[in-house]
Amino acid sequence: MTTAFDPTLDPQLQSWVASANTDTTDFPIQNLPFGRFRQPGDAAWRIGVAVGDQVLDLRAAGLIDHGDMNRLMQAAPAERRALRTALSEGLREGSAQQAAYARALLAQADVALGLPCEVGDYTDFYVGIHHAMEVGRQFRPENPLLPNYAWVPIGYHGRSSTLQASGSAFHRPMGQIKPAQASQPELAPCARLDIELELGLFIGQPNAQGEPVPIDEAEQHLFGITLFNDWSARDIQAWEYQPLGPFLGKNFASTVSPWMVTLEALAPFRRPFARPVGDPEPLPYLDSADNRAHGAFDIQMEVVLQTARMAQDGYAGDVIAESNFAEAAYWTAAQLVTHHTVNGCALRAGDLFGSGTLSGATKAQCGSLLELTTGGKYPITLSNGEQRGFLEDGDTVILRGWCAREGARRIGFGECRGTVLPVFTKG
């Protein structure tokens, strides 16, 4: 784990890229997240690093000789840190590389940002303890939290083919739904479309099949973290999820923010990790002194809902929920990697882990409408008078995340934005 002082994190560092020095930017020189971009007319993605409102083309700057993000993500931690150091030195005030780097800068507003890498496999976990409890109360009021939750990082395999870049829209899904009083299900549009406030964890270094990753080595295999919205069709999910769990209620769309914030950039925002008092300690393979001392990340998150009417009126939307990764998660990132590989599963560069919905303990910290509205029974009232139990066509949801503490420079994740379209009709 990265806990020693790193000069690239010096809060006094300033960049010759003026927009990186503002108090409001997500991308100061202390951040330097990785993503992919292309200009109009480009066929291939290029690798970039966000700095202020600009993106630095790493190949054009002479920092790499290829455009394969997944290849870059496989580099050993020492190589990644060396690249970060070179970026920091080249972008800081007074750098001898300023002229060369300046020729490799493009405005983020002028390029298309895509998925940050090619995603081969996608696993969605269920680490949000408060979300698990509340959803359990709605689906299984007599037994809300199953006994394995305290012992096993629960997850399921999702569809990487329907992952979408931030800014994309998707059609409301169709599926089998069984109304409460009906004798049989029907094929119908989802009426209970929901959001899930999550983080995405990207694997960098792979492991060989059959070789589990020990917990003290787990973070060496993690490249970075993004925002992640795992849209959910709650009515389809309710009918199909037993006995094998999520299927069509989950795999129609998931939205990923474009910038992977590295674990090096997140080092100042680590927190101790501890189980709630009275809960059992994890099994030894999921426990270590380092994980207890530094395993949690203090990442603040919010959910913004902008209805179609708000967009027409030029209003950016309402913040409907706020939460924090360290306070919401029952398992750490390192524990997820270790558990995923303990049976011999091979992870590859670009594999994505969804955290699961990261709800806090209070109603205002609920990361899904299922929780905020108690399954649609108590719709929320928005600032313009509109109400929502679940999402309607034309709604846009924006996730934002950032880290801030005294003695460190605030860094952010950009935004994760998606819009609901009506059900697809041919013709």
Digit-coded pLDDT (tens) for 384-418:
999 999 999 999 999 999 999 999 999 999 999 99
Distance CA(108)–CA(414), nearest Å, equals: 11
* Helix, strand or coil, per DSSP, at residue 57: strand
Q: Mean pLDDT score of the chain, rounded to an integer? A: 96
pLDDT at 271 over 70: yes
Best CA proximity match to 369, nearest among 196, 235, 239, 169: 196
pLDDT at 139 over 80: no
pLDDT of residue 1: 53
The two structure tokens encoding residue 206: 């792979």
Burial class (CB in 10 A: 0-12, 13-18, 19+), 18: exposed
Residue 98 sits at φ, ψ, to 5 deg, of -55, -45
Least-confidence region, from 67-71, 145-149, 172-176: 145-149
pLDDT range class, residue 142, cuts 50, 70, 90: confident
The one-letter amino acid code at 321 reads: A
Ordered structural domains, the chain, with CATH: 7-113 (2.30.30.230), 122-421 (3.90.850.10)
Distance CA(62)–CA(143), nearest Å, equals: 58
Task: For the beta carbon of residue 44, count every other beta carbon within 10 angstroms.
Answer: 8
Question: Cis omega before residue 243 (within 30°)?
Answer: yes
Burial class (CB in 10 A: 0-12, 13-18, 19+), 281: exposed
Q: Distances in Å between the alpha carbon of 311 and those of 95, 305, 314, 316, 318? A: 42, 10, 5, 7, 11
pLDDT of residue 2: 46
Range 255-266 average pLDDT: 98
Active site residues: 131
- Which residues face 329 on adjacent strands? 128
Residue 230 CA to its chain's centroid (Å)? 9
Task: For the beta carbon of residue 17, count every other beta carbon within 10 angstroms.
Answer: 23
* Helix, strand or coil, per DSSP, at residue 47: strand
* Percent of the chain's residues with pLDDT above 70: 99
Query: Which amino acids are annotated as binding site, given as ranges?
Result: 124, 126, 140, 196, 198, 230, 237, 241, 250, 254, 357
Biggest CA-to-CA distance, the chain: 74
pLDDT at 232 over 60: yes
Task: Check: CB of residue 90 under 8 Å from CB of residue 101.
Answer: yes
